[in-house]
Structure formats: C-alpha cells, structure tokens
Amino acid sequence: MVTIRLTNSKTRRKEDFVPIDPANVRMYVCGPTVYDRAHLGNARPVVVFDTLYRLLRHVYGPDHVTYVRNFTDVDDKINAEALRRQKAGAKGTLEDLIRERTEETIAWYHADMDALGARRPTVEPRATEFIAQMIAMTEGLIASGHAYAVEGHVLFRVRSYKDYGKLSGRSVDDMIAGARVEVAPFKEDPMDFVLWKPSSGEEPGWVSPWGKGRPGWHIECSAMAHELLGESFDIHGGGLDLQFPHHENEIAQSACAHPHGDFAHYWLHNEMLQVEGKKMSKSLGNFFTVRDLLDQGVPGEVIRFVLLMTHYRSPMDWTAEKARQAEATLRKIAEFLGSDPLTKPWVDLRYAKPPQEFVDALANDLNTSLALTLVSKYLKNMEEMNLVGALRLLGFYTDALTETFAPFRFHAGDNGVASGHRMATLGLDARTGDLLAKWGNSLFEKRQRAMQTKDFAAADALKSALIAIGIEVRMSKAGVELVPGPDFDPAKLEALQ
C-alpha cells in the first residue's frame, strides 16, 4: 500500500500517515460561515482537501473514508445580514430570514464548489442541528472545572489546559501580549473564550441552563467532530488563518471534554490565497467570488487547475496569466482526448489508472504541482491511459473537459463532407454551424481551384477574413479544418461577405 506523507502542523514535521482505522479513515475540515457567496480564497481549502479526500479514497478504498465538512449557520454575520434584509423591507420573522439566508448560501456554495469538481463530503453537518451536543459538551466542561458560567455567558478557562498554544506554538502570555483577545469585565482571564453567549430578543437563541443563548463558533466544530467522528480521528484541516485561535480552542475544548481521546492526529493547514500579488480585499477592488469568475466564463476546471499549481503549504497568487496558462493546457488535453486516435477499439478508458509515480507525487504531502507536471508529460508522450487515470485522481472529469474545451471543428475533406460536434456545449447555435460549413466548403473549393490556376489570392483573402474573426484555419492536403478559438465572434461570421 502507498504510504501517504503529510506535514502535520501539530509537530511541524512531515510524517507518515497512519490511520487509526484503515477501514474508516476520518477527516474533519472547517467549512464556511454561510452568509455570503464563497470568495476565491474560500475555494482553496475546498480544492486542497478534496484532493486529499480523493487520494485517501484511492489508497484506502472509496467506502473507507469519512469526510466531514460543516456549515457554520450560527454566526453574528448571518444575523446581521438577516437584520439588514428585514430593515430593507424583507418579509418574515428574523428567524425566517436567517433560515432563508443560510439555505440560499448553502445552495450557492454547493453549486460553486461542484463547478470546481469538488466531491461533496460524506457528511455536511449544520451547526444548528447539533445545539444539544454543544450544550452537553459545555455542561461537561463546567462540571470538570474547565469552564464557568457568568452573566448568561459560559467561558472556557484557558489556563486550565496546560497544552494551550501548542498547535500554533504560542505561550498564553505571548498571546495576551499580542492582545488579540477580547477583554470583558466578567472574564476571569482575558484569554478565556466564549462557549455560550446570551441572545437578545431579536437574535436567534436556544433554551439552555444559562438562559436563552447561542453557542460560540469554536464549540460548534468540537461538538460536530465528536458526534460524527468520535473522540479521536485522523485529520483535521482548514486554512492557516484558523490555526489560532479557532483550532487552538477546538483542541482545548475537545481535549478537556474527552480526556481519553486525543482529537485529531494530523493537523493540515492550507496557506492563503492572494490576487495579483495583493491580499484580496473589498477596498482594493480585487475581491471576487468563485461565481464572479464562473460568470466571466472562466471554467471551473481552470480555477481548479490554477489552485493546484501551487503547493497547499505555500502562499499562492491568483493571476490572470496563470488562468490563461491553465486554460491553454486544458484545451490541449481536451483536443488530444477528443481526437480520433482515441477511439481505437483496444483503448478502453474505463480501465485507466493513475501511474504509480503520479500517486507517489500526491502521496508526498500532496505535491500537486509535480502531479500537474506529470500530467503534461503524459500529454506530450500521448499516453492516454496514464493521462486519463491521472486527471481523474486529480478531480478532472475527462468527459467534462472535452465538452468544455474541445473545439468545434469543421472539416471539409476531399469528398467535401462537413462534420461538426459539440456545438451546443460551446454555445454555438445551428446557424453558426451552417455558416461555418458554408465558409469551410467555400475555402476548400477556392483552394482546390487555386491548386490548378496557381492563383491563391481568393483563397488567401477568405482565410485571412476567417482568422480575423477568431477562427483558426488549418489547411492540409487532406482538406480544410476550421476551429473557432477563444476570441471567435459569431456575429462577425454572420456579417462575412
């Protein structure tokens, strides 16, 4: 069996991955807070951990991996958004509006992440479905002296957990000096963080031993991970921005609530994404969502490819140039996969498997950039079985690739027969197909005539006109091939005289 090696944030070392139970490998990844569209940075952990999920399924078997990624649907940002809508005149109670907002956001999230080729996790729990477990865990922490209730709040007593700060390598005193903590008069210690907080009249709340209130963010993940994966599980993932305080707090809560378990064995963090060398931010005007890119016509496969070009532990830069490169490579792959030699009867792509060197590249701490280099090698060497096997493991569906990227081709051969395919998926209508056939046949005839008369002027003029409207023109002894390129403009084809 392949040995997967992963860089464990907990030990800061690359380690052999040894699952607790190879028959059920368990992974928890912190999911989105569902109040708005996912931005491009949010897509990074989705694609990184989807790649790991696929690798685990490949190595341990598809039925032997449990992947949990939550939806945080209790959060002040969601409440604020619902309140804003209510003030803007939206109908319904605040609770209805919150529900509406989270449902809508979850549907968007699914659609956007599906477009990136990310498999849905095995379980996608919503925080609101696990409030009882959060309350129970909080009660347990109070009973064991790790938490205290005060003024409707419950706070975790950070100094009661001696290993606090180990994951991020900070001491409690450094953290206080860093002053990233909220000071409140009722806290015993400024480091203590909220497990439960009171809800005012208009805020969503649940009945609890401490009055009507709602859970803090950190306890949500601890309770859901425990309920769905147990006291000890294999991998916990998320973006590096979550390492402190979110993950540190998850560990403290879980370790103290379940002293016989040891929570997650391997902690994985993806580095952050920036755009054209700058942090993504609304004020810099370089903030965009996955949906914005999809709407601009950037295919999900291109986004996935660019995200995989950089190793997950390195900061990455989204650039238009990288998207262009990724698109060009995917186009070449699709052209190759869509070309005729692949219909050889002895090549059955259902049996395509990723080559060992390819699996080894991914198993080495998810070396996705090496994996993509290998993909290019298989393409160059025309090793279609290796290429298809590798692409599938990386989460590229080859049928979808040929649909999205393979060009519509018009052939006019020596018998003058026209053939075309994939018109609809390229957004080309039948009228455009007819026009392409008309001009392809015309070019073919002009060229045949020119061969006899040695006057190529008419054929060359038509060829230039077609190129000018974004059509690639390939001429060979066998005939003429017209391939509309990315800049093809059907309206200009219509106007061609």
Q: Contact, 194 vs 163, CB < 8 A? A: no
Task: Give the type of residue at 242.
Answer: L
* Residue whose C-alpha is closest to residue 476's, from 413, 417, 428, 406: 413
Q: Which of residues 419-438 bind Zn ion (CB under 5 A)?
A: none
Task: Give the type of residue at 190.
Answer: P
Tell me which of Zn ion, ligand AMP, none is bound by residue 102, counting a contact when its beta carbon lies within the kind-specific cut-off of 5 to 8 angstroms: none
The number of residues making up the chain comes to 497
Tell me which of Zn ion, ligand AMP, none is bound by residue 280, counting a contact when its beta carbon lies within the kind-specific cut-off of 5 to 8 angstroms: ligand AMP
3-state secondary structure of 238: strand
Shortest spacing between CB 187 and Zn ion, in angstroms: 22
Task: Give the type of residue at 130.
Answer: F
Beta bridge partners of 235: 27, 266
**Options 155-163, 237-245, 378-386, 484-492: segment touching ligand AMP (CB under 6 A):** 237-245
Tell me which of ligand AMP, Zn ion, none is bound by residue 241, counting a contact when its beta carbon lies within the kind-specific cut-off of 5 to 8 angstroms: ligand AMP
Tell me which of 181, 272, 483, 496 binds ligand AMP, using CB under 6 A. Answer: 272
* Residue whose C-alpha is closest to residue 235's, from 49, 45, 64: 49
Shortest spacing between CB 280 and ligand AMP, in angstroms: 6
Tell me which of Zn ion, ligand AMP, none is bound by residue 41, counting a contact when its beta carbon lies within the kind-specific cut-off of 5 to 8 angstroms: ligand AMP
With respect to Zn ion, which residue has the nearer C-beta, 137 or 391? 137
Position with the least CB separation from ligand AMP: 239
Beta bridge partners of 266: 235
Q: Which of residues 34-53 bind ligand AMP (CB under 6 A)?
A: 41-42, 44-45
Q: Where are the alpha helices (DSSP H) in 128-183?
A: 131-143, 172-178
d(CA 276, CA 318) in angstroms, rounded, equals 6
Q: Contact, 99 vs 44, CB < 8 A? A: no
Shortest spacing between CB 275 and ligand AMP, in angstroms: 9
Tell me which of ligand AMP, Zn ion, none is bound by residue 32, counting a contact when its beta carbon lies within the kind-specific cut-off of 5 to 8 angstroms: ligand AMP
Shortest spacing between CB 246 and ligand AMP, in angstroms: 8
d(CA 100, CA 116) in angstroms, rounded, equals 25
How is residue 336 written in tokens?
């190759």
Q: Where are the alpha helices (DSSP H) in 339-429?
A: 356-363, 368-380, 384-393, 398-405
**Options 92-100, 213-221, 359-367, 384-392: segment touching Zn ion (CB under 5 A):** 213-221
19 contributes a contact to ligand AMP by CB under 6 A: no
216 contributes a contact to ligand AMP by CB under 6 A: no
3-state secondary structure of 418: strand
Contact flags string 401-440 toward ligand AMP, x per CB under 6 A: ----------------------------------------
Provide CB contacts within 8 A for 464, sequence distance 6+: none
32 contributes a contact to ligand AMP by CB under 6 A: yes
Provide CB contacts within 8 A for 372, sequence distance 6+: 305, 308, 309, 394
Tell me which of 82, 235, 273, 303 binds ligand AMP, using CB under 6 A. Answer: 273
Tell me which of ligand AMP, Zn ion, none is bound by residue 484, counting a contact when its beta carbon lies within the kind-specific cut-off of 5 to 8 angstroms: none
268 contributes a contact to ligand AMP by CB under 6 A: no
224 contributes a contact to Zn ion by CB under 5 A: no
Provide CB contacts within 8 A for 482, sequence distance 6+: 409, 410, 436, 439, 440, 443, 466, 471, 472, 473, 474
117 contributes a contact to ligand AMP by CB under 6 A: no
Shortest spacing between CB 283 and ligand AMP, in angstroms: 15
With respect to ligand AMP, which residue has the nearer C-beta, 56 or 273? 273
d(CA 413, CA 463) in angstroms, rounded, equals 16
30 contributes a contact to ligand AMP by CB under 6 A: yes
DSSP state of 406: S
280 contributes a contact to ligand AMP by CB under 6 A: yes
Query: Please, how many CA atoms are within 13 Å of residue 468, restricted to the half-sphere of its CB?
Result: 10
Shortest spacing between CB 103 and ligand AMP, in angstroms: 17
33 contributes a contact to ligand AMP by CB under 6 A: yes
Going from the C-alpha of 28 to that of each of 117, 237, 245, 419, 461, the distances in angstroms are 19, 6, 17, 50, 62
Tell me which of ligand AMP, Zn ion, none is bound by residue 221, counting a contact when its beta carbon lies within the kind-specific cut-off of 5 to 8 angstroms: Zn ion
221 contributes a contact to Zn ion by CB under 5 A: yes
With respect to Zn ion, which residue has the nearer C-beta, 134 or 221? 221
d(CA 325, CA 330) in angstroms, rounded, equals 9
Tell me which of Zn ion, ligand AMP, none is bound by residue 239, counting a contact when its beta carbon lies within the kind-specific cut-off of 5 to 8 angstroms: ligand AMP
Q: Which of residues 8-37 bind Zn ion (CB under 5 A)?
A: 30
**Options 62-70, 234-242, 291-299, 338-346: segment touching ligand AMP (CB under 6 A):** 234-242
How is residue 452 written in tokens?
């006899």
Q: Contact, 211 vs 198, CB < 8 A? A: yes
245 contributes a contact to ligand AMP by CB under 6 A: no
Q: Which residues bind ligand AMP (CB under 6 A)?
A: 30, 32-33, 41-42, 44-45, 238-239, 241-242, 270, 272-273, 280
List residues near Zn ion by CB under 5 A: 30, 221
